[in-house]
Amino acid sequence: MQIVVHLEHPVPPLTLSPRQAEALRRALPDHDVRVCRDEAAFLGELPAADAVLVWKFLPEWYERAPALRYVFTPAAGREGVAADPRGKIIPRHGTFHGRVMAESLLAMIGFVNRRFAAALDAQRRCAWNRAPYLTTRRLAEQTALLVGYGNIGRRCARLLKAVGMTVSALKRDTRVGTEGADRVFAPDELHEALWTADHVACMLPSDTGTDAFLDRAAFAQMKPSAAVYNIGRGNAIDAGALEEALRAGRIAAAFLDVVPEEPLPAESTLWSAPNLFITPHVSALTADYLDLYFEELVLLLERLAPQG
């Protein structure tokens, strides 16, 4: 196949390096891998492409690629690569992200559970204070509820269970893909699921039906000692309701890697909400991001070869 690659991104680890381009060619000796460094060059190669590897693909570009059979993207989210208006080609997204995101979630849970925010504050004040730690509990005594239980959720479950946590899952279809969960809840059982959880981790996509999935009513059902995490998409949590719950002490803490508006505006009151910790949409980011994806892509292309 002729594979046209356009992987340029403002974040350096997400841009194809010369080393990675050469490694990809060596790993795919039976394919013609063509690397484009700008959109004009990519569109020039597109008419002859059998496959593309991209961060962005517009709906009108499908008609410009009569030979196209595959659209590959490292992204987990669906925002950058449009669906084929003709319905002929289904974009294939990366599925490796859970390997990194599970580590991120475990780090967030550990940070909150071991009161590291209090430790940092005490260090700034040169205070030797054990009081915040007197009510800590081992993770092995606690339950994590994973709201959204696809590839990423199952990978998170494996790591959380490795440290002894009980893992509950909430997913649309409770009949399939439930491995690794100790208990599975359907969406209409959300409030029951929330009350059982010490840590509520949201990893929902931004598709239909996920807007403000965790809202004011949901926060009211959580334990006062519970912590909330979002490593999915920012639309899934009602940020105003979350901030209100934190300021009122109705939940203990929250860790947001994604927010409704990114970058989060400097004037947002979320920055100052008590016991709210924010990272800039990096739960899947690592220096070898594209290397991890290419491992997956090479295996995928081997499976697709008989169809070629």
Q: Which of the 8 DSSP states describes residue 46?
A: G
Among the listed residues 79, 141, 262, 295, the single catalytic one is 262
Q: Give the pairing type, strands 199-202 and 253-256.
A: unpaired
Q: Is 262 a catalytic residue?
A: yes
Identify the burial level of 302 via C-beta atoms within 10 angstroms of its C-beta, where 0-12 means exposed, 13-18 middle and 19 or more buried: exposed
Segment (H or E) for 122 = helix 116-124
Cβ atoms of 230 and 257 within 8 Å: the answer is yes
List strands edge to edge, sheet with 166-170: 183-185, 166-170, 143-147, 199-202, 227-230, 253-256, 276-278
Amino acid at the residue 226: A
CB-hemisphere CA count at 13 Å for 268? Answer: 16
Q: Name the maximum alpha-carbon separation found in the chain.
A: 68
* Residue given tokens 């690592």 in the structure block: 286
Among the listed residues 6, 155, 233, 243, the single catalytic one is 233
CB-hemisphere CA count at 13 Å for 7? Answer: 28
CA 17 to chain centre: 23
The 10 Å Cβ neighbour count of residue 165 is 22
Q: Is 233 a catalytic residue?
A: yes
Among the listed residues 281, 295, 296, 302, the single catalytic one is 281
Q: Is 8 a catalytic residue?
A: no
Concatenate the DSSP letters of all residues of 123-140 into one string.
HHTT----GGGTT---GG
Catalytic residues: 233, 262, 281
